[in-house]
Amino acid sequence: MEARKLKSRSSGACNPYVKLSLVPDEVERTFCRTSVLRSTTCPRFDQQFSFDFLPEDLDKRLLISLWNRDPLKKKSEFLGCMSFNVGHILSKRVQGWFRLLTETVGRRKHFAAPPPSPHRPPVQAVATRRQYWLQQDGISCHVTAPCLQFLEFKFSDRLISCQTDKHWPPYSLDLSSLYFFSLAIDHIVKYQPSTLSELKRIVEDFAVNISEEHVRKMTSDAKKRAELYR
């Protein structure tokens, strides 16, 4: 289960989690909730839950509600919900994108939503949740419009690139590649792999047969670069 473009009305950051229950259910016999994901507007929940359905549950609805947790105020903000008929979901797999509705409407129905644009896939992982920055090189294939659109979607304004308004810092250490990288590229160009399996075999062959001299050169370069970061 995943969501996108979440907005909190009470705080800047969004710490979403999901509640699942059957409605109506006065005794709260069926209730589950996911863990809270920190600082993301496009969460992906990889958790599984199970319900023991009774015959009388077939006419009820599975309510899925999305909430935002404020760790400072220790309160939860309702973001929206939707619901599905239990008899329907037991006979047919439900998949696709659906709109977040108000509580009154969402307890009674669901509305389909258009899928994400193909050039902005809803890929969210640690880099997005932890607000990491990305500093990329200027290789042509890395600064194409589709690539930059995806990176800006994933990292927002935390993208350092020659093609954004946040350029590399002067004398950036990452402007010069490590010594072994150029050796590996030369090795790949020499054999001209035509498939991914061939490329993998060539890279593995390079790693296995690299000389002690090259290893010492690599570690020497890495140590110098690390010392410059102090």
pLDDT above 50 (res 32): yes
Please count the residues of the chain: 230
Closest CA to 32 of 41, 22, 46: 22
Closest CA to 63 of 16, 94, 95, 24: 24
Q: Tell me what pLDDT residue 182 has.
A: 63
pLDDT above 80 (res 16): yes
8 Å CB contact between 11 and 67: no
> Would you tell me how many other CB atoms lie within 10 Å of the CB of residue 124?
19
Arithmetic mean of pLDDT, 131-151? 77
Arithmetic mean of pLDDT, 126-149? 72
What is the pTM for the complete model shown?
0.50
Q: What is the pLDDT of residues 63-103, one digit of tens each?
A: 999 999 988 888 999 999 999 999 888 888 888 999 999 99
Closest CA to 18 of 48, 49, 50, 45: 45
Q: Tell me what pLDDT residue 120 has.
A: 47
Q: What is the pLDDT of residues 178-219, one digit of tens each?
A: 555 666 777 777 888 888 888 888 888 877 787 788 777 777
Q: Tell me what pLDDT residue 80 has.
A: 94
